[in-house]
Chain A
Amino acid sequence: MLKEYFIRRALYLIPVLIFISFMSFSLIYIAPGDPAEIMMTSPSGGYDEAAVEAFRIAHGLDQPFYIQYLNWLKGAVVGDFGYSYMSEQPVFETVLNAFRNTLTLSVLSLAIALVIAIPLGVVSALKHNTVVDDACRFVALFGVSIPNFWQAYLMIIIFSVILHWLPASGFGHGTDISYMILPATVLGTGSAAVMMRMIRSSMLDVMGKEYIQTARGKGLSEKIVIIRHALKNALVPVITVVGLSIGFLLNGSVVVETIFGWSGIGNLVVDSILSHDYMMVQGSVLFVAVIFLLINFFVDLVYVWANPEIRYDRTS
């Protein structure tokens, strides 16, 4: 049954979840020095002995390591990541809000990436081993090699400073799409390149299959052969790349959100690091890891569902 497969896959997540929670928790211990001191150290460098001691007792930092971990985990499971040292807001809520903004931007980036990648990948495969193909492949290579922070500034210079088409940075209440276009394009570039490569090789593979020849033999036009018989099958493995692209987008969000002043999770993490808000860093990192893991889990399920052969194979 499909359900049983889902459950099996879900159970498999448990050890990884335990591992990543443990890693996130122990981050504070890899820091040279005492966690309480680090936590209570103000950005300017000084700290107050008494405050450190009070903090230590208040947060159970005088307890053994594993007890601390279990206490922390108990909270984390129900969404209690503690409070920000800076703003005194609950970490979980702040992270969740920031992530929502990152998600908005990511969805747009993914759409931009697909719009670029599908036609380029298909054309590249159909014009296999021609100048067109070489050009498409080089553009893709270019796309993964361009530093996103550099690309961001180039685009700001061109589209905001020179052409005045789009705002250089800002949040626009999270709904004004003109603020999203530049960051989403910068974010989407890398993913587009990876997807394009994937679509190209997948399409090449499919176009060489015998059933494509069968479809032509039925008198179908080349357009229908490509769209109905080839593209559909070629896009199935691309689903797996979407999971990967989410990773790409999350990574990119760190720099891109900082540059464009977008109030997402990447921006939050960088700000928190610069202001030594460690609870916030820890919470954000764990949150992002769990979300990323779940997205990949979900993508895997969609892949199984989209691929009838695997679907029946794994479920029977």
Chain B
Amino acid sequence: MNSPTEEPTWLRRALIAFAFIHVALMIILPFASVIAQACSEGFATFTRTFSSRDTIHAIKLTLLIALIAVPINTLFGIAIAWGFTHVKIPGKRVLLALLDLPFSISPVVVGFLFILLLGKHGLFGGWLEARGIKIIFAFPGLLIVTLFVTMPYVAKELIPLMDGRGREEEEAARLLGAGWWRIFWRITFPEIKWGLLYGIILCTARSMGEFGAVAVVSGNIRGRTNTLPLHVEALFQDGDLPAASAAASVLAILGIVSLVARTITDIKAKAKSKN
């Protein structure tokens, strides 16, 4: 006999089966297909793809952008989250909505915004050109749009964790004469470390995987301004599907790493909140 708040067994089974089929068909199958394509000609595809100079350059460029963008947005993310949760000012809802903007603007529009700002005919275009500084269709442009699209990750992870937690301990530490850094390091940091780590991982994954925004400001010069996601498209346009899939499967690892990291940080965070 079913309890009154449960569905009959046949319906439960059907719904569970539906969930499995849906996820298998819509998510697992595309993922498996790209891996299969990359492996369709055996290991040779990987050797061929990853020994090409353009691919190596694309990987280096992608890593370099992440190496600069992630620390910058981590530091600013901590500052924004700390300020947001510790300063009393009106209009905080607007600020919070502002942090959602980079997630909701089309990546192509993001790229275009910076062409209007820093491109040849942009607001600062003349000023930059007179000084021989090239931003759009060059490395700085790629970096700036990446900063834009990855800006909120760390801050958004930290704000709910910093909000209202450990405030008495902070107050006590301050009365005992602890400076800001000591309060942060000894009291706040242990509370937020798993959230911070997860935010950093999301930020890294997005900065390496961003496509639309960098596509607009890159100019797609192979071996110069092609990041790894852009290189995937270039190989695809060449009609070299196995090579494009091989390059894509390296990026796919990023996705998997961030999923596993999410699961681990979730478990750690839950264990912490139980204590």
A and B associate in one complex: no
